[in-house]
Structure 1
């Protein structure tokens, strides 16, 4: 008797997923979910005004400044956690007789994603600041006091 388990991973198109940046090149970003590493964010699907820095081999997003200052450079370094939207699932038939080197080049399954919408990209870009957290707590305290007064 032979028993085994297998897991099927196929995210839905338009699903938003968090992953880590594995590597950067002129074509875009390669992401990893630890158990799956064939996720590509092509350069044209990065946030608008993204620039590839050849010297450092890293992408950054030129975020416009509101006060006339030069745009901020928000880097997409390997290891950073990003949020992306699944755009396409690509399945390819890979002949079982192909060599290992060819199999690595020709991926049997690849996910194409996008980070060109608000809320997508490096998670830290969209995290609330500490000042914002304090304000939320103060607002919450005021609501509790109002509820206590109503009960009395």
Structure 2
């Protein structure tokens, strides 16, 4: 889920940081550049782990700030495909679920990766508020008519813990234009699946 990534970056150190020690000034600027930001094909930076090398310090003509090339390691959130992760239910609609880990909110479970068979329907006992339902049927025969009536498992509690399997991790290209009513652009999107034993709200399996 978390990985150390070695990167090299060249940047200008602002003059107002020159009163700090070089290590502190470099770390301050690295955190400003990378902390809580998604780096394409690396993941979401959650920490500047360490600084391995600092080169440079050159001041180019007409500039009042030194330029450094820094090699450092970043701690990044980058789950691998097939990994099992727990997250909280943030919202849901007819297209599926959206989950959150607190520091990362762009986790989606599309409807076709919910447990089969699932359906999106109003809850008659809760003001017709919509919810997802998984109807588990235990086969007692070869024909559908021979199967016992299904047991219903709902997904409808915002904030409940849901266990999912990572299906894919994507880094979408930044769009040139976005419609006004579109969702905010997400630089990293995790797609998950609940369609397997042990996955879904952990309350199902307790």
Q: Normalising by structure 1, report the TM-score.
A: 0.71
Cα distance in 1 for residues equivalent to 2:184 and 2:130: 21
Deviation at 1:103, TM superposition (A): 8.7
Cα distance in 2 for residues equivalent to 1:87 and 1:110: 11
* Matched residue, 1:121: 200
Q: Give every structure 1 segment of 4 or more consecutive aligned residues whose post-TM-superposition deviation is greater than 6 Å.
A: none
Cα distance in 1 for residues equivalent to 2:182 and 2:130: 26
What is the root-mean-square deviation in Å for CA atoms of aligned residues?
Answer: 2.5
Residue 40 (1) aligns with residue 108 (2):
yes
Cα distance in 2 for residues equivalent to 1:115 and 1:17: 11
- Structure with the largest fraction of strand: 2
Q: Normalising by structure 2, report the TM-score.
A: 0.54
- Consecutive unaligned residues in structure 1, runs of 5 or more: 128-152
* Matched residue, 1:19: 87
Cα distance in 2 for residues equivalent to 1:98 and 1:9: 28
The structure, 1 or 2, with the larger RCO (C-alpha pairs under 8 Å, 6+ apart) is 1
Cα distance in 2 for residues equivalent to 1:40 and 1:85: 11
Say which one has the larger Rg. Answer: 2
Cα distance in 1 for residues equivalent to 2:183 and 2:110: 19
Contact 1:20/1:31, CA 8 A, preserved across alignment = yes
Partner SS for 1:36: coil
Going from structure 1 to structure 2, the CA distance change for 1:52 and 1:104 (only over 3 Å counts) comes to: closer
Partner SS for 2:186: coil
Going from structure 1 to structure 2, the CA distance change for 1:122 and 1:79 (only over 3 Å counts) comes to: same
Contact 1:27/1:43, CA 8 A, preserved across alignment = yes
* Matched residue, 1:59: 132
* Matched residue, 2:170: 90
Residues 50-100 of structure 1: CA deviation (Å, up to 9, x unaligned): 1101442211111225786632221112221110000100101326x868x
Residues 109-129 of structure 1: CA deviation (Å, up to 9, x unaligned): 1000000000111101112xx
